[in-house]
Amino acid sequence: MSGNRAVAYLKPGAVEVRTIDYPTLELQDGPGVASKNVGRKCRHGVILKVLATNICGSDQHMVRGRTTAPEGLVLGHEITGEIVERGPDVEFLDVGDIVSVPFNIACGRCRNCKERKTGICLSVNPARPGAAYGYVDMGGWVGGQAEYVMVPYADFNALRFPDRDAAREKLLDLTMLSDIFPTGFHGAVTAGAGVGSTVYVAGAGPVGLAAAASAQLLGAAVVIVGDLNAQRLAQARSFGCETVDVSRGPVEEQIAEILGEPEVDAAVDAVGFEARGHGSADAPEAPATVLNSLMGVTKAGGALGIPGLYVTDDPGGVDQDARTGTLKVRLGLGWAKSHHFTTGQCPVMKYHRALSQAILHDKVHIAKAVNATVIGIEEAPRGYAEFDQGASRKYVLDPHGALNGVRAV
Ligand SMILES: NC(=O)c1ccc[n+]([C@@H]2O[C@H](COP(=O)([O-])OP(=O)(O)OC[C@H]3O[C@@H](n4cnc5c(N)ncnc54)[C@H](O)[C@@H]3O)[C@@H](O)[C@H]2O)c1
Ligand SMILES: [Zn+2]
Ligand SMILES: [Zn+2]
């Protein structure tokens, strides 16, 4: 095998589908590869034929030029595929297995992995704790928006679907297990969503919608989703959520109209550092808006789940502070209300097996909730552009036609 079509970051606003090398069981030098990772042997890895790989809001931060991602970085951290080659140290997976791959790369051997904190594995990224495929500052592991990709520490990372036929049939739902479904679920769980709770989710992008569907799965009495994108709010209503339009004015007033009181039990930030200010449709970016408004609307003693991404370097930040990820967060308010906060990468592995069972046994309809939309890998630039413009869709790339005829369940 020689070529491998893959989606690469070109420059702010542009991605390109290009032919890269077919993966090997060794991390080769390339754009974004940490120097200490060059030549890293992956006898514990597998090579996957990618069956489904999704475009994420996290990719958009890079493609909008809001990170220091290098030109040529191959994108894609949401990967589901079939094993076509296994390294000599792989014990429990076989060629032909269909697997979901957590977007976090974890070794399974370090202190944090042993504590199930797989989003901050200590040994896969020489620059800082935590690694991912196709992501700036995440070790340089080659992205999976490609026909083929190498997955290291495969026994530990991969979730194998024992029934291949069932996996293929529900692939459009199962592809959400690599990131947004566990991420949304983690947001809801860490916010304290549970039976009978009231939940506010800021952001009606795919992660917010996944958090809302997760809160429902957890038994929430009312799930309210906020955004300023009317189409995305309509998508949230399509599966039973209430909505608030943050461009109309204060969130707490709109929550009071729905609940009869201005507070909720649990709140999720599914927006992150590119948050827009409230109160007008063309409000400029105000990166601490969501964090501050969530502290305002969450009951005393409640919690904030914060999957929305915050960065240490943002070349496009609104001011000097924002450019170093320094935000004007009203911590005094959160402190006074004894709030808990949970930030960081979602440790996907904590949740993906249980959520796969919920999908396979029809307990949740995650692909419908996020409006999963299949496109070919050559159409990736269009998918990125439409998603950037706020399309209410979760774009799923289908490099090998595996999703032909597959429907959301
Ligand atoms: N923690 C993790 O492990 C993890 C995993 C995946 C994604 N993420 C992050 O989650 C965030 C959401 O991802 P996504 O794919 O849904 O992105 P997205 O960009 O599609 O969605 C963000 C939504 O927030 C809305 N928004 C902007 N300002 C708002 C405000 N003040 N109040 C309410 N809504 C507002 C936007 O209109 C948009 O619809 C991103 O920051 C992404 O990087 C984190
Ligand atoms: Zn993602
Ligand atoms: Zn580790």
CATH number for position 161: 3.90.180.10
Cα 192 to averaged position of ligand 2 atoms, centre (Å)? 22
pLDDT attached to residue 361: 97
Q: Which atom of ligand 1 is nearest to the CA of 277?
A: 31
260-299 pLDDT per residue, tens: 999 999 999 999 999 999 999 999 999 999 999 999 999 9
The answer to whether residue 403 is domain-embedded is no
Q: Which residues lie across from 52 on neighbouring strands?
A: 80
8-18 pLDDT per residue, tens: 999 999 999 99
Domain stops at, among 342, 367, 382: 342
Q: 373 and 274: one domain?
A: no
Q: 337 and 211: one domain?
A: yes
Cα 76 to averaged position of ligand 2 atoms, centre (Å)? 8
C-alpha of 406 from chain center: 22
Amino acid (one-letter) located at 374: V
Run of H or E residues at 234: helix 230-237
Q: 173 and 191: one domain?
A: no
Alpha helix locations (H) across 4-74? Answer: 57-63
Domain region containing 91: 5-179+349-397
Q: 127 and 32: one domain?
A: yes
Q: 173 and 184: one domain?
A: no
The answer to whether residue 406 is domain-embedded is no
The answer to whether residue 64 is domain-embedded is yes
The answer to whether residue 409 is domain-embedded is no
pLDDT attached to residue 2: 65
Q: Is the CB of 182 under 6 A from ligand 1?
A: no
Q: Give me the chain's average pLDDT, please.
A: 97
When pLDDT is averaged across residues 52-57 and rounded to a whole number, the result is 98
Q: Is the CB of 59 under 6 A from ligand 1?
A: no
The answer to whether residue 402 is domain-embedded is no
Run of H or E residues at 303: strand 298-305
Nearest 5°: the CA angle 293, 294, 299 is 120
When pLDDT is averaged across residues 354-375 and rounded to a whole number, the result is 98
Domain stops at, among 342, 360, 386: 342
Q: 160 and 226: one domain?
A: no
pLDDT attached to residue 27: 96
92-120 pLDDT per residue, tens: 999 999 999 999 999 999 999 999 999 99
391-403 pLDDT per residue, tens: 999 999 999 999 9
Q: 55 and 190: one domain?
A: no
The answer to whether residue 338 is domain-embedded is yes
Q: 198 and 332: one domain?
A: yes
How much is the pTM? 0.98
End-to-end CA distance of the chain, in Å?
A: 35
Instruction: Give 382's DSSP letter.
Output: H
Q: 392 and 335: one domain?
A: no
Alpha-carbon separation of residue 298 from 186, 269, 309 (angstroms): 17, 12, 20
- Percent pLDDT > 70 in the chain is 100
User: Which candidate, 177, 160, 156, 150, places its Cα nearest to that of 113?
Assistant: 156
Q: Is the CB of 78 under 6 A from ligand 1?
A: no
On the question of pLDDT at 1 being above 80, the answer is no
Cα 88 to averaged position of ligand 3 atoms, centre (Å)? 20
Q: Which atom of ligand 1 is nearest to the CA of 275?
A: 28
Nearest 5°: the CA angle 247, 248, 252 is 100
| Contact (CB, 8 A) for 294 and 202 | yes
63 vs 3 pLDDT, higher one = 63
Distance, in Å, from the CA atom of 101 to the CA atom of 23, rounded to the nearest integer, reads 16
The answer to whether residue 166 is domain-embedded is yes
The answer to whether residue 38 is domain-embedded is yes
Q: 239 and 360: one domain?
A: no
**Number of domains the chain contains:** 2
pLDDT attached to residue 409: 86
Select from 207, 292, 310 the residue to mutate for testing ligand 1; criterion: most ligand atoms less than 8 Å from CB.
207
161-181 pLDDT per residue, tens: 999 999 999 999 999 999 999
Output the domain CATH number for residue 190.
Answer: 3.40.50.720
**What is the Cα Rg of the chain in Å?**
20
Q: 39 and 127: one domain?
A: yes
Q: 187 and 166: one domain?
A: no
Domain stops at, among 324, 342, 360: 342
